[in-house]
Amino acid sequence: MATEAHTPDRKPHVPVLLRPLLRAVAPVEGVWIDGTFGAGGYARGLLEAGADKVIGIDRDPLAHRMAADWIGDFAGRLELAEANFAEMDKVASGVDGVVLDLGVSSMQLDLAERGFSFMRDGPLDMRMSQDGPSAADLVNEAGEAELANILYVYGEERASRRIAKSIVRARAEAPITRTLQLAELVESCLPRSKPGQSHPATRSFQALRIAVNDEYGALYQGLMAAERALRPGGLLAVVSFHSVEDRMVKRFLQVRAGQTGNANRYAPVLETEKPQFDLVTRKAVGPDKDELDENPRARSAKLRVARRTDAPAGEVDAAAIATPQIKGTR
């Protein structure tokens, strides 16, 4: 989900849904993991609200470099770790709270050289961690069916097959290496967008970004890692930006709070184990009117909060929490 970076004058920004999040987890105490540190807005908010310590995890080395000039403001109360939140329990456990603010930051989106944006020309990269295969590798090497699946499942792009075919045709002539090269190619496959509609390449870029960073795999693993990392009574707060992410968080919390019922009436009734979470927010919390007036982009943000019980942590089936799966052909 997009958030604004610290401005050059170091004025901290107010990240999306921070106020409702701090209200939902009050009183803030003890040690918290911020699994999506980004520009540090949530970490700063938690520290200012009373957390003794925040462990900021981000897989983007840039987020850590950006924090270097203000981490000293919190003298020993802010620790950073370059890691994937899918493994947060290896960084810390027994913590009082975990926050996740999913997706990409506007700091990442705004830098052309990171290759996330269809508005700015840059290398077709999109890697948050800056290692592993890039979007260019995916676009130039994946089979046509896999590309179409990625665009359809991760981007909900209805013209997925047409775009995948066009990519495969274009790359036979010359590799696709630049963001604008891909954006123009996608645009050429779709009707011109009407005023007020999003850019035609929005869905394709979102899909590729999710695939390159295995965002849904990380979320699936990350929710289970949070379950392991939290002490009994500890709080999990997740802010999501897309319906697919929110559905995964909602389903995970329903399953772990023992609130799924028997979805399949033909399935045997399972011995119900003690739930790992109690729901704190029954429905997703969105931005209030003030936040929407300040930041219209916050309109799709959703917050869900749950409290860890003392039941042992365990495994959840990926399909049970609606984790989208791509059938690969590479």
* CA-only gyration radius of the chain, Å: 20
Q: Residue 129 or residue 260: which is nearer to ligand SAM going by CB? A: 129
Smallest distance, ligand SAM to C-beta of residue 20, A:
13
- 101 marked as part of a ligand binding site: yes
- Tell me if 229 contacts ligand SAM by CB under 6 A: no
Q: Which of 17, 25, 32, 40 binds ligand SAM (CB under 6 A)?
A: 40
Cβ neighbors of 273 (< 8 A, separation 6 or more) are 258, 311, 314
Contact 120, 181 (CB under 8 A): no
Smallest distance, ligand SAM to C-beta of residue 212, A:
11
Read off the DSSP letter of residue 320.
Answer: G
Query: Cα 196 vs. chain centroid, distance in angstroms?
Result: 25
Read off the DSSP letter of residue 112.
Answer: G
| Mode of pairing for the β-strands spanning 230-240 and 95-101 | parallel
Q: Which of 21, 31, 36, 254 binds ligand SAM (CB under 6 A)?
A: 36
- 41 marked as part of a ligand binding site: yes
Give the dihedral sign, CA 51/53/58/60. Answer: positive
Contact 96, 31 (CB under 8 A): yes
Q: Where are the beta strands (DSSP E) in the chain?
A: 31-34, 53-58, 78-82, 95-101, 230-240, 277-279, 302-308
- 42 marked as part of a ligand binding site: yes
φ and ψ at residue 226, rounded to 5 degrees = -65, -40
- One character per residue 266-305, x = contact with ligand SAM (rule: CB under 6 A): ----------------------------------------
Q: Which residues pair with 57 in a beta bridge?
A: 81
- Tell me if 81 contacts ligand SAM by CB under 6 A: no
- Tell me if 32 contacts ligand SAM by CB under 6 A: no
Stretch that binds ligand SAM, among 33-41, 198-206, 267-275, 306-314 (CB under 6 A): 33-41
Contact 244, 324 (CB under 8 A): yes
Contact 5, 40 (CB under 8 A): no
Q: Which of 135, 218, 223, 301 binds ligand SAM (CB under 6 A)?
A: 218
- One character per residue 116-155, x = contact with ligand SAM (rule: CB under 6 A): ------------x---------------------------
Smallest distance, ligand SAM to C-beta of residue 230, A:
17
Interacting residues toward ligand SAM by CB under 6 A: 1, 3, 15, 36, 38-42, 57-60, 63, 84-86, 101, 103, 105, 128, 218
- Binding site for S-adenosyl-L-methionine, by residue number, is 40-42, 58, 85, 101, 108
